């Protein structure tokens, strides 16, 4: 293996070009010498394979579903014509920004961009492999922001399936007639939403008995019902056995873990969406001594520092929460610590999330099941879209409640969690996120504020006003 150009010492070596670029920008503004190492497309998972391209699929599906719902309010559309070439072309255009970003950073004074695989071999040394070449970089600080990678369960024929990265690397030019999705989490549900809207026969396969198992139980029940209406089928107590390829189709072999019955599902494509796993084992030489947790994620403190001085980790790689907004916030905390000598904090009890299905799902904090398990008395407020004026205007009523907002607090109205399913659920949950990160985290500011009437905001406000004490005394 040949060597790349002369070794240099950097103030900051940043591995990963997603949220890591926030730290790179701050370092460059301070006049520091920076190396950015990326083994894949510049911009990270969010830009290329995750948050943004997936929403370029789900948003067109949302529009089609809204057109169907419009019949309830007296507006009728002819059957929509979907231009899949246009949809996929927009994603490819987005992904093309990756190269532009890499080139623009490479031109910045004090910044070097290296495309290759990184290996941390010492507390201040990173080896970079690029094809048949290698290079050792020396750095005063190393920032790990490599994200996570798809978890591919080991079973025969798993190489015949796609996963979220390979799907976005090889975008289809026409809808699959039949699609089996192995896994029942967020990515699975968003893929199912898109393809079922295109009249693909979609089957979601899982083992836990439900979908989106980290969601509030009422949300799980509601989304399963809605997705079944949309044509999605579920097999939720089944083990993946193998995938076989015949001349014209793929065949997924499953076993019902309750009855031990074996079944076969013929299909045109299979997507494995069984979560993610850490990239730390291939990134870190064990001799460096960076502490990992039992799932091989990097252990960090409140400043994003690892067990080794000068090495930091942000985003999915530290295993806290697998969201780009969390990675961004961790990057900002690290920037404050490194460059402003300021101690900022992140409240991991108030990390929001959303699932972009129809209806949309969002939540923050504890589910009602988690609150019940804690054994404390709590208050619950819950209101449906049909219960507010704007919900009536949108056509929700007795036959379709449109979803709901649920608020959970302790006896002093401190927010424990908030959950929503329905139109613009993410926007409705965001005020609770702000409140949980402000002062004592109570509902008081919301309860003393005026929601615009008639607007969908009344749903969140009135849900908060409808609190009922559970398991205690008023």
Rounded mean pLDDT of 8-15?
94
* Contact call for residues 161 and 182 (beta carbons, < 8 A): yes
> Would you state the pLDDT for residue 3?
47
Rounded mean pLDDT of 412-422?
97
Burial of residue 107, with CB atoms counted within 10 A of its CB: 0-12 exposed, 13-18 middle, 19 or more buried: exposed
Per the structure block, which two tokens stand in for 284? 């870190």
Model pLDDT for residues 173-195, shown as the tens digit of each residue:
999 999 999 999 999 999 999 99
Rounded mean pLDDT of 206-228?
97
> Would you state the pLDDT for residue 399?
83
Rounded mean pLDDT of 252-261?
97
Rounded mean pLDDT of 370-387?
96
Q: Please count the CA atoms within 13 angstroms of the CA of 291 that sit on its side-chain side.
A: 10
Rounded mean pLDDT of 309-334?
97
Contacts with 52 (C-beta within 8 Å, 6 or more apart), sequence order? 46, 94
| CA distances (Å), origin 306, targets 298, 312, 331, 364, 450 | 7, 5, 14, 27, 45
pLDDT class for 398, splitting at 50, 70, 90?
confident
What is the rounded CA–CA span in Å between residue 318 and residue 141? Answer: 17
Instruction: Identify each DSSP E strand in 356-433 by its residue range.
Output: 361-365, 378-384, 403-409, 415-422
pLDDT class for 2, splitting at 50, 70, 90?
very low
> Would you state the pLDDT for residue 1?
37
H-state helical runs in 210-262? 217-229
pLDDT above 80: residue 273: yes
For the CA atoms of 279, 366, 185, 81, the dihedral, rounded to the nearest 10 degrees, stands at -120
H-state helical runs in 245-397? 280-283, 324-339, 368-374, 389-393
Q: 324-339 vs 20-29: helix axis angle to the nearest 10?
A: 30
Rounded mean pLDDT of 344-361?
96
Rounded mean pLDDT of 427-454?
95
* Contact call for residues 16 and 315 (beta carbons, < 8 A): yes
Indicate left, alpha or beta for 33 from its phi (over 0: left) and psi (-120 to 50: alpha): beta
Rounded mean pLDDT of 5-12?
78
Per the structure block, which two tokens stand in for 179? 């699609």
pLDDT class for 473, splitting at 50, 70, 90?
low
Model pLDDT for residues 123-144, shown as the tens digit of each residue:
999 999 988 899 999 999 999 9
Indicate left, alpha or beta for 413 from its phi (over 0: left) and psi (-120 to 50: alpha): left
Strand, helix or coil for residue 463: helix
Long-range contacts of 252-255 (CB under 8 A, 24+ apart): 252/180, 252/182, 252/205, 254/205
pLDDT above 80: residue 8: no
In the DSSP assignment, the letter for residue 292 is B
What is the rounded CA–CA span in Å between residue 251 and residue 438? Answer: 52
pLDDT averaged over every residue in the chain: 95
Rounded mean pLDDT of 233-255?
96
Q: Which of 44, 41, 13, 19 is nearest to 326 (CA)?
A: 19
In the DSSP assignment, the letter for residue 455 is S
Cα 384 to chain centroid distance, Å, stands at 26
Q: Which residue has the higher pLDDT, 186 or 343?
A: 186
Burial of residue 229, with CB atoms counted within 10 A of its CB: 0-12 exposed, 13-18 middle, 19 or more buried: exposed
> Would you state the pLDDT for residue 448?
93
Residue percentage of the chain with pLDDT more than 70: 98
Q: Please count the CA atoms within 13 angstroms of the CA of 163 that sit on its side-chain side.
A: 16
The pTM for the full model equals 0.95
């Amino acid at each position: 293996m040949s060597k790349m150009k002369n070794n240099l010492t950097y103030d900051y070596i940043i591995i990963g070009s997603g949220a890591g670029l926030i730290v790179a920008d701050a370092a460059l503004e301070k006049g520091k010498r920076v190396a950015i190492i990326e083994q894949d497309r510049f911009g990270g998972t969010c830009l290329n394979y995750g948050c943004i391209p997936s929403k370029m699929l789900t948003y067109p599906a949302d529009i089609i579903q809204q057109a169907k719902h419009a019949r309830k309010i007296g507006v009728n559309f002819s059957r929509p014509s979907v231009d899949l070439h246009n949809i996929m072309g927009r994603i490819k255009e987005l992904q093309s920004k990756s190269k532009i970003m890499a080139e623009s950073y490479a031109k910045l004074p004090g910044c070097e961009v290296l495309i290759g695989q990184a290996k941390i071999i010492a507390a201040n040394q990173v080896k970079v492999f690029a094809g048949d070449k290698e290079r050792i970089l020396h750095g005063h600080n190393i920032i790990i922001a490599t994200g996570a990678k798809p978890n591919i369960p080991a079973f025969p024929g798993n190489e015949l399936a796609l996963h979220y990265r390979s799907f976005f690397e090889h975008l289809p030019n026409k809808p699959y007639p039949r699609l089996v999705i192995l896994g029942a989490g967020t990515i699975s549900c968003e893929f199912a939403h898109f393809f079922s809207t295109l009249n693909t026969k979609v089957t979601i396969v899982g083992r836990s008995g439900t979908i989106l198992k980290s969601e509030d139980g009422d949300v799980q029940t509601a989304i399963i019902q809605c997705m079944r209406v949309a044509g999605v089928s579920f097999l939720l107590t089944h083990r993946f056995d193998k995938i076989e390829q015949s001349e014209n189709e793929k065949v997924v072999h499953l076993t019902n873990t309750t009855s031990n019955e074996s079944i076969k599902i013929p299909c045109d494509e299979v997507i494995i969406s069984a979560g993610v796993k850490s990239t730390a084992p291939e990134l870190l030489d064990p001799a460096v001594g960076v502490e990992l947790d039992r799932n091989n994620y990097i252990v960090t403190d409140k400043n994003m520092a690892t067990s080794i001085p000068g090495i930091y980790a942000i985003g999915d790689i530290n295993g806290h929460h697998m969201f780009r907004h969390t990675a961004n916030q961790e990057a900002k905390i690290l920037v404050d610590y490194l460059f402003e000598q300021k101690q900022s904090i992140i409240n991991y009890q108030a990390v929001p999330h959303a699932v972009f299905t129809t209806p949309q799902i969002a939540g923050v904090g504890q589910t009602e099941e988690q609150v019940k398990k804690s054994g404390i008395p709590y208050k619950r407020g819950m209101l449906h879209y049909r219960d507010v004026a704007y919900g009536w205007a949108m056509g929700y009523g007795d036959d379709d409640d449109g979803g709901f907002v649920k608020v959970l607090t302790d006896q002093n109205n401190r927010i424990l969690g908030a959950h929503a399913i329905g139109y613009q659920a993410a926007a409705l949950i965001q005020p609770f996120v702000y409140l949980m990160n402000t002062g004592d985290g109570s509902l008081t500011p919301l309860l003393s504020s005026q929601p615009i009437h008639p607007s969908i905001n009344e749903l969140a406000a009135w849900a908060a006003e409808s609190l009922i004490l559970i398991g205690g005394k008023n």
